[in-house]
Amino acid sequence: MIKILDQIGRYFLMLKEVFNKPTKWVVMRPLIFKEVDDLIIGSMAIVAFISFFIGGVVAIQTALNLTNPLIPKSLIAFATRQSVILEFSPTFISIIMAGRAGSYITSSIGTMRVTEQIDALEVMGVNSLNYLVFPKIIALILYPFVIAISICLGIMGGWLAAVYGGFVGSDEFIRGIQTDFHPFHILYAFIKTFIFGFVLATIPSFHGFYMKGGALEVGKASTTSFVWTCVVIILIDYLLTQLLLS
């Protein structure tokens, strides 16, 4: 328990250091572009694939469970929209990202630690935390855009699966999507993903930066970092849902 508190303390000290003494903009700018490329653009394909099919699966599951003829078929669309916007895209995709972007971050920073590249930065007088972590945080500010795309693809997947699976007509599905729509839910999804983006950038960085040992430990650090990122994402999800929706 004390160890966990100690870790949490160190995590916040790390955050303070990340925003301390910024690196020159000419040096920082290409780093940010590179991280956008690696973390955002590079994750697009897997996010698109998963969102599309999850949307489809949700639609089919709802359709199969709708046996009561009194309930309108448009509910399939309504249920798909709600689950995609509220949970599947923001939370589920973030867990996927904890695996993809998160372990990439931990292993790349961890390797730099093991091969003394971080020491080399520090010896030169570079604020290595700012240099390494800040561009990742900035890149992941774009993370809500990823989720916006994921939401669109998820609903599209639901629509295709429901219509071409013969569960509901296209018109009725589209009517269902518009039923009882609260724009606040979109905002809620974006607030969540904005915070998840920050978590996705910083917790894996923390585990990579403070790791000790050799190549084997880099692998272990990635695993630990994945577990912690997921735990924190789920906890924050719970808290935000309580705070914002109830």
- Residues of this chain that bind other proteins (CB under 8 A): 21, 23-24, 26-27, 111-112, 115-117, 119-120, 122-127
For other proteins, which is the closer residue by CB, 138 or 186? 138
For other proteins, which is the closer residue by CB, 6 or 171? 6
Q: How far is the CB of 103 from other proteins (least distance, A)?
A: 17
Q: How far is the CB of 25 from other proteins (least distance, A)?
A: 11
Cα–Cα dist 179/66, whole Å = 17
For other proteins, which is the closer residue by CB, 123 or 245? 123
Q: How far is the CB of 57 from other proteins (least distance, A)?
A: 38
For other proteins, which is the closer residue by CB, 61 or 111? 111
The string over 188-225, giving b where at least 16 C-beta atoms fall within 10 Å of a residue's C-beta and e elsewhere, is bbbbbbebbbbbbbbbbbbbbbebeeeeeebeebbebb
For other proteins, which is the closer residue by CB, 89 or 106? 106
Q: How far is the CB of 37 from other proteins (least distance, A)?
A: 12
Q: How far is the CB of 6 from other proteins (least distance, A)?
A: 18
